[in-house]
Copies of this chain bind each other. A is one copy, B any other.
């Protein structure tokens, strides 16, 4: 137990390891990150990882666990719960994009989560339940409020995926987008413009659904909501 003792400088190295490991894991990926590099960055000995976290993966999970709190705490706030749904959507998109792209925030955090999504490890479940799902449900709630549809329904969740996809692509393949757009999306002003464009586009995409359906008060709401006109394609 490292915590039974008093506030000696003992756990200082454990913390230094934790904080040094985040950027390294994010930069190189779990597999390519070496404990030697992490320990060097933390100013600790190689054996410290095994000593404090059992093994490399234990350190990795500790980093993710630490990150969840940060991510969720920062984002869930910032979306005014009592504002109009349109304003909430704009706030959600901007908060999400800032978290993904803002250079004034620690870049390694969303980068680490991206790696976990693209190439899952055994720690993915925790990431989903602790960090992704809450934010996703929040977005689904906003879209549900915008359209009057059930936020747990398939239609709303697919729309939410579309919104997330438009944002995540900027984190998933920034190099490619730089080449396609000719601009890096980094400065706060650019992120703001991007949030404008995305939320406006999403609102337009939701337009035929907004208001046309009166928000049902209570019972049978789900059945009515899902009974709307079928999702229509271009063809036929």
Contact = CB atoms under 8 A, between A and B. Distances in A.
A43 to B, nearest CB: 27
A10 B205 CA distance: 57
Identical copies in the complex: 2
B172 A118 contact: yes
Nearest to A128: B179
Interface stretch (A56-64, A73-81, A191-199, A216-224): A191-199
27 contacts: A29-B31, A87-B235, A89-B234, A90-B235, A118-B118, A118-B173, A120-B175, A128-B176, A128-B179, A132-B176, A132-B180, A133-B179, A136-B180, A158-B181, A161-B169, A161-B180, A161-B181, A164-B169, A166-B166, A168-B173, A169-B169, A193-B231, A200-B232, A202-B205, A203-B234, A204-B206, A205-B205
A157 interface: yes
A193 B235 CA distance: 11
Interface residues of A, number: 61
A172 B203 contact: no
A186 to B, nearest CB: 15
Interface string A98-132: 00000000000000001001111000100010001
B231 A197 contact: yes
Given A169-B172, A196-B232, 13 more contacts: A87-B234, A87-B235, A117-B176, A128-B179, A133-B180, A158-B181, A161-B181, A162-B166, A162-B198, A165-B165, A165-B166, A165-B170, A196-B235
